[in-house]
Amino acid sequence: MLALYHFGPVANSLTPLLCLLEKGLAFDNRVLDSRKWEHHDPAFRAINPNGVVPVLVHEGRTVGESTVINEYLEDVFPEVPLRPADPWLRAEMRVLTKYVDEYFCPALTTIGAHGATPFASKIDKAEMAARLANMPDEEVRRKWATVSETGYSDEELADARRKLGNCIARLEGILDGGRPWLLGEFYSLADIKWYSMAPALPRVMPEACNPDATPRIAAWLERMAARPAVLALPDYAPKR
Amino acid sequence: MLALYHFGPVANSLTPLLCLLEKGLAFDNRVLDSRKWEHHDPAFRAINPNGVVPVLVHEGRTVGESTVINEYLEDVFPEVPLRPADPWLRAEMRVLTKYVDEYFCPALTTIGAHGATPFASKIDKAEMAARLANMPDEEVRRKWATVSETGYSDEELADARRKLGNCIARLEGILDGGRPWLLGEFYSLADIKWYSMAPALPRVMPEACNPDATPRIAAWLERMAARPAVLALPDYAPKR
């Protein structure tokens, strides 16, 4: 009845995966291997012509975009609510997921994609050209063209790191006042969305995000890591 | 009970303004004059510390982000529905509003902000420095620093125009099959969000967006322009 196509428990793929697990919903676990470019294969493009994951298939209908998938899961399966009933808190939640989609994720993607340059630059030029020609999404194609050729410029990387610094400050600020979750007492899709990206922060920005500098983020990451749904995530990683 | 702070019927300010009018909701109409930088004044920053419009105030609580405001209005005032009941169509709607926020709006903002360079570069340097220092949002400050100094580079402008070309193709494609509105028969927040930006397309990209090249967009823009709520918009423009 439900199937999730994804890359494993990381970044945008983690967003709906964690939502499904928190809700205790059974689903077909369809892990694609990004390093084999399975998401650009005809089999997956028959499901999502854009060749982008994650994608949820429910009763034969396809839903894309991780944040939208989670709102869809709330609309259809409200039994374990991850969206607060109070409309104002709900708006807060949406402001927070929107910020990740528009600001945090693009900055982290620049750093992450740049990190793939050693991998991508080793690919045979003719093979890479064929891979690029097979990428249906123009922005994805442009990203991989950059990554496989020069990587991002120092200026672009510095700008991405500046933005990640703002994400750290924002997250530490949100968690002010001893609240356990981003909306306060209510664990929500905002925690799930931020947790899809935030574990990278202490790794990418150790000087700015560490238990001394950002104790609230450190404590929230620990609370997240202890949730049964999060503990189950390794089972959904690609088998390599 | 309801108040909307906005810049008038254009871009992100148009999004909640049109939603309120379509729903027939009474509201305090608080138009700020962007050319007087009223949104950075202490009076408005007491309402939104970020100094960003639009902002909705409802029963003393503030909601920001145009797309989130409209979901809030749906949650609180569902009587005139602009969000479809079918969860899959609802997801489609959210994919479409997200695309405007993440792709269409930033590209159009680059073109629009660059167009403000003649205005911004005429401002006395010391005054502009004071204005910049008074801007609470870092990304807005950086945008105006660029606009008041050099404007955007040819490469950045070309990239923005490339993206607007993709927006035109996507909108024309969505309207395929004679559907009157973006989701089909149901007029929704997706039409409102796209209409907040789309009237600029024939003006900014006349060679790509015109009645011959994109007849469906032209017909949709006409249908939108004929809606009573859209006809009422000039009443909400700044008085200059």
Interface ipTM? 0.97
Picking from A72, A91, A102, the nearest residue to B101 by CB comes out as: A102
Instruction: Report pLDDT for B172.
Output: 98
Cβ-nearest to B61 among A65, A88, A138: A88
| Closest CA in chain B for residue A92 | B63
What fold, for A2-82+232-236? Glutaredoxin (3.40.30)
Half-sphere exposure of B173 (CA within 13 A, CB side): 7
| B158 chain-A contacts, CB cut-off 8 A | none
Which residue is it, tokens 């690029």?
Answer: A132
Task: Read off the amino acid at residue B92.
Answer: E
Segment-wise mean pLDDT, segments of 10 residues, chain B, 240 residues: 96 98 98 92 94 97 98 98 98 98 97 90 91 93 92 96 98 94 98 98 98 98 98 94
Rounded to the nearest angstrom, the minimum Cα separation between B61 and chain A is 8
Alpha carbons A177 and A184: distance in angstroms, whole number: 9
Sequence letter at residue B58:
H
| Interface touch B91/A63, C-beta < 8 Å | yes
Domain A87-228 has CATH 1.20.59.20: no
8 A C-beta contact, residue B12 and residue B66? yes
pLDDT at B103: 98
Nearest neighbour of A72 by CB, restricted to B58, B87, B166? B87
Cβ of A87 and B76 within 8 Å? yes
Which one of 3.40.50.2300, 1.10.3470.10, 1.20.1050.10, 1.20.120.1200 gives the CATH number of domain B87-227? 1.20.1050.10
Pick from B63, B87, B138: which is nearest to A91 by CB? B63
DSSP reduced 3-state for B37: coil
pLDDT of residue A177: 87
3-state SS record for B116-172: CHHHHHCCCHHHHHHHHHCCCCHHHHHHHHHHHHCCCCHHHHHHHHHHHHHHHHHHH
- Beta strand pairing call for B28-31 and B2-6: parallel
Quick check: B94 contacting A, CB < 8 Å?
Answer: yes
Kindly list the residues from chain B whose CB atom is less than 8 angstroms away from the CB atom of residue A71.
90-91, 94
- Chain Cα centroid distance, residue A215: 23
For residue A184, the 8-state DSSP code is B
Q: Cis (ω within 30 of 0) for the bond into A211?
A: no
Domain ranges of chain B: 2-82+232-236, 87-227
Give 10-residue mean pLDDT values along chain A (240 residues): 96 98 98 92 94 97 98 98 98 98 97 89 91 93 92 96 98 94 98 98 98 98 98 94
- Cβ-Cβ contacts under 8 Å, B100 against chain A: none
Is the distance from CB of A201 to CB of A217 less than 8 angstroms? yes
pTM more than 0.95: yes
A4: β partners: A29, A56
Contacting residues of A for B102, CB less than 8 Å apart = 101-102
